[in-house]
Amino acid sequence: MKKLIITVLTSIMLTSSAAMAGSYAIGAKLSNAFIDASGTETTTAGDVTGGAANTNSASVSNDMVLIPSIYAEYMLDSSVWGSEGNEITFGINYTFGEADVSDKVKRRQESAEDADGNGSSGSMTYDAQASIENYMNYYVEIPLASALYAKAGFSQLDVITEEDADHEGSYGNATLDGTNFGIGLKGMTGNYSWKIAYEVTDWDSLSLTSTTSNKIAADLDVDELSLSVGYRF
């Protein structure tokens, strides 16, 4: 699906820009992101704690994440279906900063046994969190009717894992790819463009193996409600 979207975006852009005149715009976007994640961690028997292998599952969310970003676009000058300011558009959007996947740190406790075989036992508390950053989106917007448009694109982001110091092994970070779809309203006021949109991004599954052979499998969903304002040249 990602390869198909990239191929279509590239071919349409090359064909359209050669056949029709267009204009450029730059602008800023502010989104409220709704982040949901679910995953499973499968741990091996602990060399330090002596604990048995086990599987832990969790679901987390963060519904109040304000995300600023900037974008650059190329728009064709004519539109059969849309009103002024709602033309076929090709763009790239870069999101600043980072956002926590969960609005609270995920915590769990496990029983522990001395690895030296003395038989003493206790418990270990593990804290874990993850954040996302470097969110890039490449897209095309197609007018549907009047100010209404649809959007399709390809996205990438980095997932940064944040285990605590007591966690057995570290997972490192990963880059996820996703397909992006949205619908919204847009138009022009003088040389200024505006957009209001709702978007969803379907991300690839995350799969990580720690330095102690523990494994994480997770799914991440990011929805956005956004307002964009730009200047058209």
pLDDT digits (tens, 9 = 90+) for 111-142: 444 444 555 454 444 445 567 778 899 999 99
Query: What is the spatial distance between Cα 10 and Cα 5, in angstroms, rounded to a whole number?
Result: 9
pLDDT value of position 143: 93
CB 171 within 8 A of CB 140: no
pLDDT value of position 164: 52
Residue 103 — very low, low, confident or very high, per pLDDT cuts 50/70/90?
very low
Residue 172 pLDDT > 90 = no
pLDDT value of position 66: 85
pLDDT, tens digit (0-9, with 9 covering 90-100), for 143-169: 998 999 999 999 998 887 766 544 555
Query: pTM for this structure?
Result: 0.70
Residue 4 — very low, low, confident or very high, per pLDDT cuts 50/70/90?
low
CB atoms within 10 A of CB 179: 17
Residue 6 pLDDT > 90 = no
Question: What HEC string does 146-157 produce?
Answer: ECEEEEEEEEEE
Question: End-to-end alpha-carbon separation of the chain, Å?
Answer: 33
Main-chain phi, psi angles of 9, to 5 degrees: -60, -45
What domains sit in the chain, N to C, each tagged with a CATH number? 2-232 (2.40.160)
